[in-house]
């Protein structure tokens, strides 16, 4: 039973100041055990005050949040940034809206499904986990347009069906010199040659 004056779980959720959170995070700020937090969140969900998005991942309210709101909370123990076709779209390089949000990480490649949408996590070698900045307006880390393109080509060197072709690219929004500089960081010689060849083909008529 909650003691008089003790903040409710809903109060702790509101105090976080954002919509998406993890059950572990809520347990830490409320000083409640995992089982108590799980039971409390289940009650909140029945009341329309919270929604389970995935394993240990929740949002306030009854409706799921936007996909990009979930990005910073998907892997609490791993850093990720938005890259590949999702970043290219956000930068206006491609018009087609990706149905799955594409993320870069040093974790294993896999698909993460949540009630807010699906996320494709692509593994990058540690030396390639760079070329992004925190986008304060959007609330997540975002690759530069040139790095997003190089990330696509890098992954295609190992998985031929991934990013084998693109919707029409607005090359005026990309700088070949910057893209080649990111490609030069690739330590694997086969992958580096593959990326440089594809860059040359994409920029042939620019």
pLDDT digits (tens, 9 = 90+) for 119-169: 999 999 999 999 999 999 999 999 999 999 999 999 999 998 889 888 789
Same domain assignment for residues 122 and 191: yes
Range of the domain at 55: 9-60
Same domain assignment for residues 187 and 170: yes
Instruction: Tell me the percentage of the chain whose pLDDT exceeds 90.
Output: 86
- The residue assigned the tokens 């055990």 is 33
Residue 86 belongs to some domain of the structure: yes
pLDDT of residue 205: 63
The two structure tokens encoding residue 21: 């959170």
Same domain assignment for residues 123 and 25: no
Q: How far apart are CA 44 and CA 40, in angstroms?
A: 6
Same domain assignment for residues 52 and 147: no
3-state secondary structure the chain: CCCCCCCCHHHHHHHHCCCEEEHHHHHHHHCCCHHHHHHHHHHHHHCCCEEEEECCEEEECCCCCCHHHHHHHCCCCCCCEECHHHHHHHCCCCCCCCCCEEEEECCCCEEEEECCEEEEEEECCHHHCCCEEEECCCCEEEECHHHHHHHHHHHHHHCCCCCCCCCCCCHHHCCHHHHHHHHCCCCCHHHHHHHHHHHHHHCCCC
CATH number at residue 30: 1.10.10
pLDDT of residue 167: 74
Q: How confident is the model at residue 206 (pLDDT cuts 50, 70, 90)?
A: low
- End-of-domain residue from the set 60, 79, 99: 60
Same domain assignment for residues 43 and 71: no
Same domain assignment for residues 177 and 161: yes
pLDDT of residue 5: 44
Same domain assignment for residues 194 and 96: yes
Residue 4 belongs to some domain of the structure: no
Q: Give me the number of domains the chain comprises.
A: 2
What CA dihedral angle connects 102, 106, 109 and 110, to 10 degrees?
Answer: -70
Residue 3 belongs to some domain of the structure: no
Residue 54 belongs to some domain of the structure: yes
Closest listed residue to residue 163, CA positions, set 128, 116, 202: 202
Cα angle 21, 64, 141 (rounded to 5 degrees) comes to: 55
Residue 180 belongs to some domain of the structure: yes
The two structure tokens encoding residue 151: 């990330």
Same domain assignment for residues 156 and 97: yes
Same domain assignment for residues 75 and 121: yes
pLDDT digits (tens, 9 = 90+) for 64-90: 999 999 999 999 888 999 999 999 999
How buried is 1 (Cβ within 10 angstroms: 0-12 exposed, 13-18 middle, 19+ buried)?
A: exposed
pLDDT digits (tens, 9 = 90+) for 1-39: 444 445 899 999 999 999 999 999 999 999 999 999 999
Same domain assignment for residues 77 and 153: yes
- The residue assigned the tokens 């490649």 is 109
């Amino acid at each position: 039973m909650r003691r008089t004056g003790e903040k409710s779980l809903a109060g702790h959720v509101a105090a976080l100041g954002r919509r998406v959170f993890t059950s572990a995070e809520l347990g830490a700020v409320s000083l409640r055990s995992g089982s108590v937090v799980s039971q409390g969140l289940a009650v909140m969900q029945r009341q329309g005050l919270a929604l389970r998005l995935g394993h240990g991942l929740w949002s306030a309210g009854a409706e799921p949040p936007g996909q990009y709101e979930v990005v910073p909370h998907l892997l609490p123990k791993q850093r990720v940034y938005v890259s590949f076709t999702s970043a290219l779209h956000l930068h206006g390089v491609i018009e087609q809206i990706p149905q799955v949000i594409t993320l870069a990480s040093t974790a294993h490649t896999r698909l993460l499904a949540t009630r807010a949408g699906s996320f494709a996590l692509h593994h990058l070698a540690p030396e390639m986990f760079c070329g992004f900045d925190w986008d304060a307006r959007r609330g997540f880390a975002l690759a530069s347009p040139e790095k997003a393109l190089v990330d696509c080509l890098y992954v295609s060197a190992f998985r031929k069906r991934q990013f084998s072709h693109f919707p029409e690219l607005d090359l005026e929004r990309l700088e070949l010199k910057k893209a080649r500089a990111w490609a030069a960081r690739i330590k694997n010689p086969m992958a580096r040659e593959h990326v440089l060849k594809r860059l040359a083909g994409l920029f042939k008529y620019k």
